[in-house]
Structure 1
Amino acid sequence: MTAQPIKSEPVTQPESMTGAAAVVRALELAGTEYVFGYPGGAIMPVYDALPGSQLKHILVRHEQAAALAADAYARVTGKAGVCMATSGPGATNLVTGIANAFMDSVPLIAITGQTQTAMMGTDAFQEIDTFGITLPIVKHSFLVRDPAEIFNVFAEAFAVATQGRPGPVLIDLPKDVMQASFAVSPQNDHRARSTPWPDLDPALIEQASALIAASRRPVLYFGGGIAISRSEAALRAFHSRTGIPAVATLKGLGGLPTETPDFLGMLGMHGTRAANLAVNESDLLICAGARFDDRATGRLASFAPHAKVIHIDADASEISKLRHADIAIGGDMAKVLDALRPGPLSIAPWREHCAQNKTRWAMRYDAPGKGVFAPALLNELSRRAGDELIMTCDVGQHQMWVAQHCRFSRPQAHLTSAGLGTMGFGIPAGIGALFAEPKSTVITVTGDGSIMMNIHELATIKRYRLPLKILLLDNSQLGMVRQWQELFFEENFSEVDLYDNPDFAEIARAFGLEAFTVDRREEVDGAIDRLLSATGPILAHVRIDPRENVWPLVPPGASNSDMMEA
Structure 2
Amino acid sequence: MSETQLTGADIVLKALADQGVEVIFGYPGGAVLPIYDALFKQNRIRHVLCRHEQGAVHMAEGYARSTGKVGVVLVTSGPGATNAVTGLTDALMDSVPVVCLTGQVPTFLIGNDAFQEADTTGITRQCTKHNYLVKESDKLARTIHEAFLVANTGRPGPVVVDLPKDILMGKAPYIPAARVKHRSYRPQVKGDFKLIEKAVEMMGTAEKPLFYIGGGVVNSGPNASKLLTSFVRSTGFPITSTLMGLGAYPASDQQFLGMLGMHGTYEANMAMHDCDVMICIGARFDDRVTGRLDAFAPNSRKIHVDIDPSSINKNVAVDLAIVGDVAHVVEDMIRVWKSRQVRPTQKALAAWWGQIDTWKARNCLAYRDTDSVIKPQYAIQRLYELTKDRDTYITTEVGQHQMWAAQFYKFEEPNRWMTSGGLGTMGYGFPSAIGVQVAHPESLVIDIAGEASFLMNLQEMGTATQYRLPVKVFVLNNQYMGMVRQWQELLHGSRYSESYSDALPDFAKLAESFGWLGLVVDKPGDLDAAITAMIDSDKPVLMDVHVDPSENCYPMIPSGAAHNEMLLGPEDGAGTKVSDHGMVLV
**SS of 1:364's equivalent?**
coil
Distance 1:192 1:443, change over 3 A: farther
Q: CA deviation at 1:469?
A: 1.1
Partner residue, 2:238: 245
> Please, which runs of 5 or more residues in structure 1 have no aligned partner?
1-11
Q: CA deviation at 1:527?
A: 1.6
Partner residue, 1:226: 217
Q: Matches of residues 414-493 of structure 1 in structure 2 within 5 Å? A: 414-493=417-496
Q: CA offsets, 1:94-127, max 9 Å, x none?
A: 1111111000011110100001111111111000
TM-score in terms of structure 1 length: 0.95
Q: CA offsets, 1:159-211, max 9 Å, x none?
A: 010010011110000111111123x2667974458957454323212211111
Q: CA deviation at 1:436?
A: 1.7
Partner residue, 1:344: 343
CA distance in 2, matches of 1:219, 1:457: 42
Partner residue, 1:538: 541
Whether the aligned pair in 2 keeps the contact of 1:205 and 1:339 (CA below 8 Å) is yes
Partner residue, 1:309: 302
Partner residue, 2:375: 373
Q: Which of 314, 320, 333 is residue 327 of structure 1 equivalent to?
A: 320
Paired amino acid for 1:213: G
Paired amino acid for 1:71: E
Distance 1:478 1:146, change over 3 A: same
Q: Which of 175, 180, 198 is residue 170 of structure 2 equivalent to?
A: 180
Whether the aligned pair in 2 keeps the contact of 1:159 and 1:192 (CA below 8 Å) is no
Paired amino acid for 1:256: Y
CA distance in 2, matches of 1:527, 1:345: 50
Partner residue, 1:294: 287
**SS of 1:82's equivalent?**
strand
The question of 1:211 aligning with 2:210 is answered: no
The question of 1:80 aligning with 2:40 is answered: no
Whether the aligned pair in 2 keeps the contact of 1:155 and 1:190 (CA below 8 Å) is no
CA distance in 1, matches of 2:292, 2:175: 56
CA distance in 2, matches of 1:188, 1:396: 42
Whether the aligned pair in 2 keeps the contact of 1:416 and 1:425 (CA below 8 Å) is yes
Q: CA offsets, 1:432-471, max 9 Å, x none?
A: 1112222222100111110111000011111111111110
Distance 1:187 1:527, change over 3 A: closer
The question of 1:142 aligning with 2:132 is answered: yes
Whether the aligned pair in 2 keeps the contact of 1:218 and 1:282 (CA below 8 Å) is yes
Whether the aligned pair in 2 keeps the contact of 1:262 and 1:355 (CA below 8 Å) is no
CA distance in 1, matches of 2:191, 2:363: 40
Whether the aligned pair in 1 keeps the contact of 2:371 and 2:525 (CA below 8 Å) is no
Distance 1:198 1:55, change over 3 A: closer
Partner residue, 2:576: none
Whether the aligned pair in 2 keeps the contact of 1:262 and 1:354 (CA below 8 Å) is no
The question of 1:357 aligning with 2:369 is answered: no
Q: CA deviation at 1:83?
A: 0.3
Moved over 3 A (4+): 185-200
Partner residue, 2:32: 43
Q: Which of 18, 32, 38 is residue 29 of structure 1 equivalent to?
A: 18
Distance 1:266 1:107, change over 3 A: same
CA distance in 2, matches of 1:199, 1:268: 29
Whether the aligned pair in 2 keeps the contact of 1:311 and 1:328 (CA below 8 Å) is yes
Whether the aligned pair in 1 keeps the contact of 2:50 and 2:460 (CA below 8 Å) is yes
Whether the aligned pair in 1 keeps the contact of 2:15 and 2:176 (CA below 8 Å) is no
Q: CA deviation at 1:506?
A: 0.7
Distance 1:42 1:186, change over 3 A: closer
Whether the aligned pair in 2 keeps the contact of 1:465 and 1:536 (CA below 8 Å) is yes
What is the aligned-residue identity percentage? 43
Paired amino acid for 1:400: M
CA distance in 2, matches of 1:203, 1:39: 53
The question of 1:500 aligning with 2:493 is answered: no
Q: CA deviation at 1:535?
A: 1.8
**SS of 2:84's equivalent?**
helix
CA distance in 2, matches of 1:135, 1:270: 32
CA distance in 2, matches of 1:13, 1:223: 50
Total equivalences in the alignment: 554
Partner residue, 1:404: 407
CA distance in 2, matches of 1:440, 1:289: 28
Q: Which of 273, 277, 282 is residue 275 of structure 2 equivalent to?
A: 282
Whether the aligned pair in 1 keeps the contact of 2:28 and 2:36 (CA below 8 Å) is yes
Q: CA offsets, 1:69-93, max 9 Å, x none?
A: 0011111111110001001111111
Q: CA deviation at 1:503?
A: 0.5
> Please, which runs of 5 or more residues in structure 2 have no aligned partner?
571-586
Paired amino acid for 1:345: P
**SS of 1:443's equivalent?**
strand
Paired amino acid for 1:221: Y
CA distance in 2, matches of 1:188, 1:459: 36
Q: CA offsets, 1:373-402, max 9 Å, x none?
A: 111111221232125221000001101100
Partner residue, 1:394: 397
Q: CA deviation at 1:284?
A: 1.0
**SS of 1:323's equivalent?**
coil
Bigger shift: 48-57 or 382-391?
Answer: 382-391
Q: Which of 8, 30, 35 is residue 19 of structure 1 equivalent to?
A: 8
Distance 1:175 1:505, change over 3 A: same
Q: CA deviation at 1:237?
A: 1.1
Partner residue, 1:4: none
Distance 1:525 1:401, change over 3 A: same
CA distance in 2, matches of 1:313, 1:432: 28
Partner residue, 2:58: 68
CA distance in 2, matches of 1:198, 1:30: 21
Distance 1:188 1:403, change over 3 A: closer
Partner residue, 1:5: none
Paired amino acid for 1:39: P
TM-score in terms of structure 2 length: 0.92
Q: CA deviation at 1:362?
A: 4.8
Paired amino acid for 1:459: G
Whether the aligned pair in 2 keeps the contact of 1:265 and 1:404 (CA below 8 Å) is yes
Whether the aligned pair in 2 keeps the contact of 1:513 and 1:538 (CA below 8 Å) is yes
